[in-house]
Amino acid sequence: MAVTPETEPLSHRTHPVAGAGLGLRRALLGPLQSYDPEIVSKNVDFMEVAPENWINVGGQKRDFFRYFTERFPFVCHGLSLSIGGPSPLDQTFIRKLRQFMDEYNIRAYSEHLSYCTDDGHLYDLMPIPFTDEAVTYVAGRIRQVQDMIGQRMAIENVSYYAAPGAELSEIDFINAVITEADCDLLLDVNNIYVNSVNHRYDPLEFLKALPGDRISYGHIAGHYNEAEDLIVDTHGADIIGDVWDLLDKAYGLFGVFPTLLERDFNIPPVGELLCEVQKIKAIQDKWNRYAQAENEGAKGSTHGQRLSA
């Protein structure tokens, strides 16, 4: 495959972590700890947790958690911020979040571009209406969070099953929020695929329209086919070929970015999970080799020009 200028990694971009990661769910703590630690650390470059699951945890569970944070770089992916919700932001939670990130040296905080509260908790991720008014509202709240945690946060493109009151397209909405909030993007390729089937659009065109220089890190996951034209984003199955292809294309467009396997249900044995993490790494290695060859080619031609001058 030819390497074009648009496939070169963007040199000004810095990522909070590198390589291929694995979401650390509570159900995985025991199996991972009893697995060969050398094999785990050889395959997993970073981990991600939901801060809500760990902020107030003490005792033995806290020791378990620290075992991993001392061995792996971490990012955290929130569940409860409700960035698009009508209730005021939970300032107590955000203060605790900052302490939690400091205490465990957690490199980045991401959340879903959705909401999960009304007057109370809705226990689901609801779609924010794609409107200019919502862009201003959400971007303001993201900036508030960023001020409180003292760094940029990343927002994730989410899967959604209805778009109530939409005035903008999904891609225009996401891009407007990122620009107005001056935040980063958590790029979930499975969510793009799921939405492209459910809402009938071209996933590659959508991918191309995202701001690659804002990618903090990525997610990849499996889903469930409810019907031919309805996919449910379950994180409960192996990743399908079309989603792997989309990750490959994302690296081709934007350069390699750190990418994490999300698996929340039907969790297979650790060895099987690590195979999927290895597959992320294999695609990253391929694009890193292309980039390296391209750089060496560019250096070689500059050197040749100098010699002939």
User: Judged by CB under 5 A, which of 219, 223, 263, 281 binds Fe ion?
Assistant: 219
Tell me, residue by residue from 41 to 80, as one string, x for binding to Fe ion by CB under 5 A and - for no binding.
----------------------------------------
Query: Hey, is 14 helix, strand or coil?
Result: coil
The nearest distance, CB 190 to Fe ion, in angstroms, is 7
User: C-alpha distances in angstroms, 211 versus 47, 156, 306?
Assistant: 24, 13, 36
User: Which range of residues in 188-196, 252-260, 265-273, 286-294 is near Fe ion by CB under 5 A?
Assistant: 188-196
Q: Does 188 bind Fe ion (CB under 5 A)?
A: yes
DSSP state of 213: G
**Contact in structure between 49 and 66 (CB atoms under 8 Å):** no
The nearest distance, CB 172 to Fe ion, in angstroms, is 21
Phi, psi of 284 (to 5 degrees): -65, -45
The nearest distance, CB 66 to Fe ion, in angstroms, is 25
DSSP state of 192: H
User: Which range of residues in 23-31, 51-59, 138-146, 216-224 is near Fe ion by CB under 5 A?
Assistant: 216-224
Q: Does 184 bind Fe ion (CB under 5 A)?
A: no
Could you give the CA distance from residue 134 to residue 128 in angstroms, rounded to a whole number? Answer: 7
The residue (of 219 and 263) whose beta carbon lies closer to Fe ion is 219
The nearest distance, CB 281 to Fe ion, in angstroms, is 19
Q: Does 25 bind Fe ion (CB under 5 A)?
A: no
Q: Does 223 bind Fe ion (CB under 5 A)?
A: no
The nearest distance, CB 220 to Fe ion, in angstroms, is 8
Fill in the amino acid letter for 238. D
The nearest distance, CB 262 to Fe ion, in angstroms, is 5
Could you give the CA distance from residue 89 to residue 141 in angstroms, rounded to a whole number? Answer: 8
**Contact in structure between 146 and 113 (CB atoms under 8 Å):** no
Which residue is it, tokens 């990130």?
Answer: 101
What six digits make up the tokens of 213?
């220089």
**Contact in structure between 78 and 52 (CB atoms under 8 Å):** yes
User: Which range of residues in 40-48, 181-189, 247-255, 270-278 is near Fe ion by CB under 5 A?
Assistant: 181-189
- Residues at the interface with Fe ion (CB under 5 A): 188, 219
